[in-house]
């Protein structure tokens, strides 16, 4: 079975942020991801992760004014200088936390100019990361337009075309099964249709984005599909618990037994 990580921005919110690492480790997770760790001191986060023996495997680039509707700026023409500043901030945070993956948020944009901006920014970011932190890999993720209207990257074929065009060895695909189900109607078929192995996988139930244990995706079959296909990366629970986090972890115990 895959190695499972917990998204500590969504799970274990019953605990204070720095206490979530130990709670996730006690619950059986082997790693964690953080959406936007920038409101906390990197040293405090790193110390909590180390004390819990729970590595941080992925963070996002800054999302900007999330409450105001921003979703990153990588594909937004005219925001190139801001993107570079925020990417350098993310590079520093990823290095301090020992995160091996950095998800680059595209932002709300569309059209040929946005695509050209996105490609240029990703090309620059891949070179910047390679020079600064050779162990770090960058990801891009298609996100469905129902949950995030106007997000630039909403298609797996387009994501793969962009990755093939840039052809940077430290830049790859992030596959969120929840978004894949909403985008294509069949997350498991979408996985089989990929031309490249993703660097990171996230899971949540459809509909509702709750625990990955019921609904439209057969997760036991999906986890087996990952294994038989040779996927060796992390699988992160990125969902909103229906009730308390620990009460909904039957899916993790079942998968870990498998």
Residues with a known catalytic role? 141, 238
DSSP 121-172: HHHHHHHHHHHH-TT-EEEE----TTTSTTBS---HHHHHHHHHHH--TTEE
Q: Which of 251, 247, 192, 243 is nearest to 218 (CA)?
A: 251
Q: How many angstroms separate the Cα of 159 from the Cα of each of 70, 83, 106, 152, 172?
A: 20, 19, 11, 10, 9
β pairing state of 200-203 and 137-140: unpaired
> Is-contact 172 139, C-beta < 8 A?
yes
Q: What angle do CA 133, 29, 235 make, to 5 degrees?
A: 60
Name the CA radius of gyration of the chain, rounded: 17
The length of the chain is 258
CA 21 – CA 51 distance, rounded (Å): 8
């Amino acid at each position: 079975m895959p190695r499972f990580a917990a998204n500590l921005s969504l799970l274990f919110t019953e605990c204070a942020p720095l206490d979530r690492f130990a709670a996730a480790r006690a619950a059986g997770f082997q790693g964690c991801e953080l959406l936007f760790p920038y409101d906390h001191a990197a040293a405090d986060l790193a110390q909590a992760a180390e004390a819990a023996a729970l590595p941080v495997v992925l963070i996002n680039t800054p999302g900007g004014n999330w409450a105001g509707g921003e979703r990153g700026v990588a594909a937004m023409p005219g925001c190139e200088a801001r993107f570079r500043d925020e990417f350098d901030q993310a590079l520093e945070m990823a290095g301090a936390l020992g995160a091996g993956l950095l998800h680059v948020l595209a932002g709300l944009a569309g059209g040929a100019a946005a695509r050209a901006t996105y490609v240029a920014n990703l090309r620059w970011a891949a070179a910047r990361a390679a020079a600064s932190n050779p162990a770090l890999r960058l990801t891009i993720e298609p996100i469905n337009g129902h949950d995030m209207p106007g997000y630039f990257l909403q298609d797996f074929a387009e994501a793969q075309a962009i990755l093939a065009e840039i052809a940077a060895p430290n830049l790859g695909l992030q596959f969120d099964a929840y978004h894949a189900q909403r985008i294509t109607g069949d997350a498991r078929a979408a996985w089989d249709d990929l031309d490249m192995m993703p660097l990171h996988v996230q899971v949540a139930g459809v509909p509702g984005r709750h625990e990955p244990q019921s609904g439209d995706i057969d997760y036991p079959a999906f986890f087996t599909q990952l294994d038989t296909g040779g996927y060796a990366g992390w699988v992160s629970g990125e969902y909103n618990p229906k009730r308390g986090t620990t009460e909904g972890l039957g899916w993790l115990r079942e998968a870990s037994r498998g």
